[in-house]
Amino acid sequence: MQSDSLQETAQATTKGSPIRQLSVFLPNRVGSLMALIKLLQENSIEVLGLSMQDTTEMTLVRLILSDPEGAALLFIEKGIPYIDCQIIVVELNETVHRLTECLSALLAAELNIEFCYPMLVRPNHFPLFVLHCDDVEMAGDVLGGAGFRVLCQSDLSR
């Protein structure tokens, strides 16, 4: 059974709107990523996290943005197909072993990590780790219950 303070920490870390990741496919050509980032910046949308996976023809770009709603509208306006999904962003503070503790908590709950990557920003000077699990809501609850700070969109947006 969890202590009251640990339960309060878990509740406090999961309040707020979930963080959305927008993913787009780009042609695997010189300048494609730059054009996408420039389009976002011209519309006052900051890239806070970025992951790329490429093949010979295409590149999958996963983005954590300061304004995912605005970016979604921009993508629709510009005819850029995108995928929107909810992810977990967890703060890895205090010790060098926090990543191991984070992964151990998810393993103990039998949650599978489908993809992960580090963020570009560090609001509290601690590393931020992006995770997408087979059950995102449960992953947030598990990590919050294990004492991790799980961020919400308002923690990242202006």
Do 107 and 30 fall within a single domain? no
Do 68 and 97 fall within a single domain? no
Instruction: Tell me the chain's radius of gyration from C-alpha atoms.
Output: 17
Q: What does the alpha-carbon distance between residue 145 and residue 142 come to, in Å, rounded to a whole number? A: 5
pTM here is 0.84
* pLDDT beyond 90 at 7: no
* Per-residue model confidence (pLDDT) at position 96: 65
Q: Strand locations in 92-127, DSSP E?
A: 113-118
* Per-residue model confidence (pLDDT) at position 41: 98
Q: Of 34-43, 50-59, 65-74, 101-110, which gets the smallest average pLDDT?
A: 50-59
Total domains in the fold of the chain: 2
Instruction: Work out the pLDDT band at 98, boundaries 50, 70, 90.
Output: confident
Instruction: Work out the pLDDT band at 54, boundaries 50, 70, 90.
Output: confident
| Structural domain span for residue 116 | 4-18+87-156
* pLDDT beyond 80 at 115: yes
SS3 2: coil
CATH number reported for the structural domain that contains residue 48 in this entry? 3.30.2130.10
* Per-residue model confidence (pLDDT) at position 56: 86
Instruction: Work out the pLDDT band at 52, boundaries 50, 70, 90.
Output: very high
Best CA proximity match to 116, nearest among 143, 78, 94: 143
Do 80 and 131 fall within a single domain? no
Neighbours of 152 (CB within 10 A): 16
